[in-house]
Amino acid sequence: MAMYPEYMVAPIREDLTSSGFEQLMTPEEVDQAIKSEGTVLLAVNSVCGCAAAKARPALKMAVAASDKKPAKLVTVFAGMEQDAVAKAREHMLPYPPSSPSIALFKDGELVHMIERYHIEGNELNRIVDNLQGAFEEYC
């Protein structure tokens, strides 16, 4: 059961999908994406203000400005496809659920995590730098 009407989240989803992120809708899609070979950047999208002001802009800026970047960009939407989000959060353990959040996987293993408190309490450019540093190290 979705927490929000689709018409409300559609433009928020599009903010990332129009920038190359694939929207994952099922637990199977999440498993397939994360367990794939190479690097996968997973964004847990959200309707909250820090997702709009910092997380999504930082994701788009970091990917656009980086020479080294993840092979695959994917997203799930907190409060909507709850089974897909739950599966994504299983892959992000031992980190507690938070949205927005950003995880980088390499060959199916979690190698870098940015939790909500890293997003809402930080400047946009620091989040971009954090992501670009992770891309440089793992991609």
Catalytic residues: 48, 50
> What backbone phi and psi angles, to 5 degrees, belong to 40?
-135, 125
What strands, in cross-sheet order, belong to the sheet with 109-114? 22-23, 72-77, 39-45, 101-106, 109-114
Question: Residue 102 CB: number of other CB atoms within 10 A?
Answer: 26
Q: What is the CA radius of gyration of the chain?
A: 13
Listed in sequence order, the DSSP H helices in 47-123 are: 49-50, 56-65, 82-91, 116-120
Helix (H, G, I), strand (E, B) or coil at 70: coil
CA count, 13 A, side-chain hemisphere, 104: 21
